[in-house]
Structure 1
Amino acid sequence: MTQPLYTIAEILAATGGSTDLVPATPIGSISIDSRELGPDALFVAIKGDRFDGHDFVEQALANGAVAALVSRGRGDRRIVVENALDGLRDLARAARARSRAVIVGVTGSVGKTTTKEAIRVVFEAAGETHASIKSFNNHWGVPLMLARLPEGAQFGVFEMGMSGPEEIRPLAQLVRPHITVITTVAAAHLEAFGSLDGIARAKAEIFAGLEPGGTAVINADHPQLAVLLEEALAAGVSNIVTYGEARGTDWQILDVETAADRSFATIIHNDVRHGLVLNVPGRHMVANATAALAVAYQAGVEIAVALRALAGFGLQAGRGLRQVLGPVDKPLLLIDESYNANTASMKAALDVFTTQVAPQGRKVVVLGDMLELGAQSAALHASLADAVRASGAEQIYLVGEAMGALAEALGRDRVSAHTATASEMAPILRNNLAYGDAVMVKGSNGVGLSTIIDHIVKQFALN
């Protein structure tokens, strides 16, 4: 039998809660979704912006949860605490306190989820690893992921995100990483910070949780490097490691070559050259993988092990996942970048698309609004025009009001269609795409371009 995460007695000790459950009862998993319960699950009834978990306690128990951690109410199989979210944080602290794992925290404006996944892949080649799933990186996602940390894990990797100041600091202080990674600083959530330097200082809040003697791994290929270094020194970080294409980095990237489905580079560290081969395209993917190499080295994982693991690293849905749909002799290639977008990630994706050849048709891009850019939104959307032209896209479809600025910059005659919503665009694409085309779909998650992905898959996949 797999060792449980906790017993009821351990949960009571961590949270100060009360219950009628038998203290020795094991808890094997933790969930905040009554529809997705693992074995011997504890359901945590947190209150969100749209839903209150307390409304789903009965459903969770009926679906097989062993117990429910609740802020209110009495009844069978409840563990009652003052606040369920605070109780989840208490469990997270207990998991972190007992863990002997090497803990890594990852943040950044672009690439944090992919970098987290690259680090996970490397660590899994070296030992038992626990990592954040999806993009569970906010005020409830981080404590949930940390509370799930098995006592016997050798490595833990946690992603931390933000939409405003002073959001990363409490997450980092909860996770207490031995190694922190800042992937880059770019114009994401710009309206909440006012400047890129403001974003950099907010990302640097991750240093507040770094364990004494820990290491900060920082991408050097952006203008805010000096701000991050200043913040790291102010936080008392004594071990700073840089990576990137910039001269003088500790892990320097040279000779990058990208193809439609692969990337190659030379990485120099301590005057030793390492050949990096990735099964994914893009300079930005080389940077993400190099961050994983730097982390692996700091964690004591052999570089050769890390390089072999990265050679098999793949992309995830919404973050560059490639799907070949339809007949073998004339398929439709769908590149799914629908999860998120800012100017840096949009330009990186378009740069990768320049190397893509359509199987036997046209190159098509579907671009959605980049959200939360504030007063600079129009200028930043318009700034994509050169990258769109360079991508070789023969048809350009735009979704969202802010994309009007890009339409003007490109010239309306270059835009195949521009709609306010993804639902309006879906039937247009259904009537215009064909087998043989290569299609990239990218935009902020809030635009809902994932529905377009679903429509394309449903239409072109062969049953």
Structure 2
Amino acid sequence: MEAFALWTSDEAARASQGEAKVAWTASGVSIDSRAVQFGDLFIALRGPNFDGHKFVVDAFARGASAAMVDHLPEGVSPNANLLVVKDTFAGLNALGAAARQRCGARVVGVTGSVGKTGSKEMLRAILADQAATHASSGNLNNHWGVPLTLSRMPVDSHYAVIEMGMNHAGEIGPLSKLARPHVALITNIEPVHLESFANIEGIADAKAEIFEGMEQGGIAVLNRDNTLFERLRDAALARGLQVVDFGQHPQARTRLIKQVPNAGCSCVAAEVDGQAITYKIGAPGAHWVINSLGVLAAANAMGADLAQAGLALAGIKAPKGRGERQQRPWREGSIDIIDDSYNASPPSMRAAFAVLMMGKADKRGRRIAVLGDMLELGPDGEKLHAELAASVLEHGIDLVFAAGPLMRALFDVLPPEKRGRHAANSAELLEILRGQVKPGDTLLIKGSRGSKMNVIVDGLHTPAPAPRAASGW
């Protein structure tokens, strides 16, 4: 196989039990024709509202070197670079399994109710600083994302970091069996996706499915501060796994000694398996600190150098939509925006409120929470929104602007002086904010992805025109 080729036609055909009549090589794998890179193998998946076979022509036009299909698509030559399989989703999974089998990488799986993507990015940074590392891109953590991530894994990878998410029970188990992790990190268990579970214990059991596919002698890295720790520990031990815990608990093997929060970073002193370590995380917030403990415990379990791992954390920045901080010109001054618009849950809301209040505020400015609905919370949704009021008051947030029917429950229980405005949706709230935001303000923008709070992040660039002074004779 040529050095640049991720897959040859023969290898892909053997892995998927498909047929390739024309020889080809692929340097990448894609399931979205809009994101195809030159040299990719495009896999024509079928979903509830789309059929990838309709986009094979587009994929070739964008530079795809081949396409995996279950029939000859309209407009495609029979002599094109095709890999014909019985089922393209099964073919994607087969490629992922074959890539995992042929690669000697040590694999860490990451899951949890909140913090899994940030933890995955910290692990990526730590491990890539020490050896060739492959990791999930963005939020590719579901039944399509995990096999896609594995299918893209170069054969010479030394480490692999695979994020696994779920909305229902029974979803993580198959992903774990595909990825076969040596180490599994569960960041925490919180009341997220409650509409699909009877209780939080059900969420813990669904996350514990990550243990199902782990390699013999595997290591489970668990948050000792979490109320479901013992349940997860027992599930790991029942499968013959080793357990490594982390947190503020005095008996945790990876233990927080001290943290010093700052507006742009966090300074941390910790102990990992008896070894003292001090480091800086280039992202603010206590939740980043606790997650970093789990990351260091997992990196240590993967065999990484601990001191070098601590140094790598200084380069971590909160990603777009997950706490990224931006400064934008605003009339005669500027405003600060904390973009936490990708997702939201009650614990992540409270963590974000703490970040909003960090740092020195502009003397003219206000700390403003711009909040959208937290989704998938089940019948207690309104109650969980209203309960955020205590945290708003505790952190001294100046104003709350809210969008969506669920966030109305919070807005209505706030003291009048804390209420900005409520709107039906994010687009309406954007127009309100354009007239209300002042230079010097700091805005936290947060909500579940379905609340579309990114509309406000993307649109809050230009203030509404200042009111014209009345003219007279």
Bin the TM-score by the shorter chain: over 0.9
- Distance in structure 2 (CA, Å) of the matches to 1:457 and 1:212: 53
SS at match of 1:19: coil
Q: Check conservation: 1:357, 1:438, Cα contact below 8 A.
A: no
SS at match of 1:398: strand
Partner of 2:422: 418
Q: Check conservation: 1:28, 1:38, Cα contact below 8 A.
A: no
Inter-CA distance 398–357: structure 2 relative to 1 (3 Å threshold): farther
AA matched with 2:212: A
Residue 420 of structure 1: CA displacement? 1.7
- Distance in structure 2 (CA, Å) of the matches to 1:70 and 1:290: 44
How do 1:282-321 residues align onto structure 2 when only pairs under 5 Å count? 282-321=285-324
Residue 73 of structure 1: CA displacement? 2.5
Residue 235 of structure 1: CA displacement? 2.2
Residue 382 of structure 1: CA displacement? 1.3
SS at match of 2:46: coil
Give the TM-score taking structure 2 as reference length. 0.93
Map Cα deviations across residues 112-157 of structure 1 (whole Å, 9 max, x no partner): 0000000000001101111101111011011101110000111110
- 2:223 is matched with which residue: 199, 209, 219? 219
Match status 1:447 vs 2:446: no
- Distance in structure 1 (CA, Å) of the matches to 2:128 and 2:84: 36
Inter-CA distance 90–459: structure 2 relative to 1 (3 Å threshold): farther
- Gaps spanning 5+ residues in structure 2: where? 465-473
Partner of 1:20: 21
Match status 1:181 vs 2:185: yes
Partner of 2:334: 331
Map Cα deviations across residues 326-377 of structure 1 (whole Å, 9 max, x no partner): 2899421110000011111111111222224433411111011110100111
Residue 428 of structure 1: CA displacement? 0.6
- Distance in structure 2 (CA, Å) of the matches to 1:445 and 1:2: 40
Residue 253 of structure 1: CA displacement? 0.8
Match status 1:72 vs 2:71: yes
Q: Check conservation: 2:399, 2:417, Cα contact below 8 A.
A: no
How do 1:427-438 residues align onto structure 2 when only pairs under 5 Å count? 427-438=431-442
Residue 226 of structure 1: CA displacement? 1.2
- Distance in structure 1 (CA, Å) of the matches to 2:58 and 2:51: 13
Residue 276 of structure 1: CA displacement? 2.3
- Distance in structure 2 (CA, Å) of the matches to 1:92 and 1:14: 9
- Distance in structure 1 (CA, Å) of the matches to 2:230 and 2:322: 29
Partner of 2:102: 98
Q: Check conservation: 1:354, 1:390, Cα contact below 8 A.
A: no
Map Cα deviations across residues 433-453 of structure 1 (whole Å, 9 max, x no partner): 132111110110010001110
- Distance in structure 2 (CA, Å) of the matches to 1:117 and 1:333: 24
Q: Check conservation: 2:272, 2:296, Cα contact below 8 A.
A: no
Q: Check conservation: 2:269, 2:276, Cα contact below 8 A.
A: yes
- Gaps spanning 5+ residues in structure 1: where? none
AA matched with 1:37: V
- 1:397 is matched with which residue: 388, 395, 401? 401
Q: Check conservation: 2:330, 2:463, Cα contact below 8 A.
A: no
- 1:377 is matched with which residue: 378, 381, 392? 381
Greater shift, 357-366 or 149-158, is seen at 357-366
Inter-CA distance 33–187: structure 2 relative to 1 (3 Å threshold): same
Partner of 1:60: 59
Q: Check conservation: 2:272, 2:297, Cα contact below 8 A.
A: no
Partner of 2:175: 171
SS at match of 1:180: strand
How do 1:187-206 residues align onto structure 2 when only pairs under 5 Å count? 187-206=191-210
Which structure has the larger Rg over C-alpha atoms? 2
Partner of 1:46: 45
Greater shift, 413-422 or 56-65, is seen at 413-422
Q: Check conservation: 2:434, 2:462, Cα contact below 8 A.
A: no
SS at match of 2:47: coil
Partner of 1:276: 279
Inter-CA distance 30–224: structure 2 relative to 1 (3 Å threshold): same
- Distance in structure 1 (CA, Å) of the matches to 2:462 and 2:219: 46
Partner of 1:254: 257
Residue 81 of structure 1: CA displacement? 0.8
Residue 380 of structure 1: CA displacement? 1.0
Residue 456 of structure 1: CA displacement? 1.4
SS at match of 1:452: helix
SS at match of 1:203: helix
- Distance in structure 2 (CA, Å) of the matches to 1:308 and 1:427: 43
AA matched with 1:104: V
SS at match of 1:218: strand
AA matched with 1:39: F
Q: Check conservation: 1:190, 1:373, Cα contact below 8 A.
A: yes
Structure 1 stretches of 4+ moved >6 Å: none
The percent of aligned pairs where both chains have the same amino acid is 39
Partner of 1:83: 87
Residue 71 of structure 1: CA displacement? 2.2
SS at match of 1:331: strand
Partner of 1:355: 358
SS at match of 1:35: helix
- Distance in structure 1 (CA, Å) of the matches to 2:88 and 2:111: 26
Equivalent residue pairs, number = 457
Inter-CA distance 329–226: structure 2 relative to 1 (3 Å threshold): farther
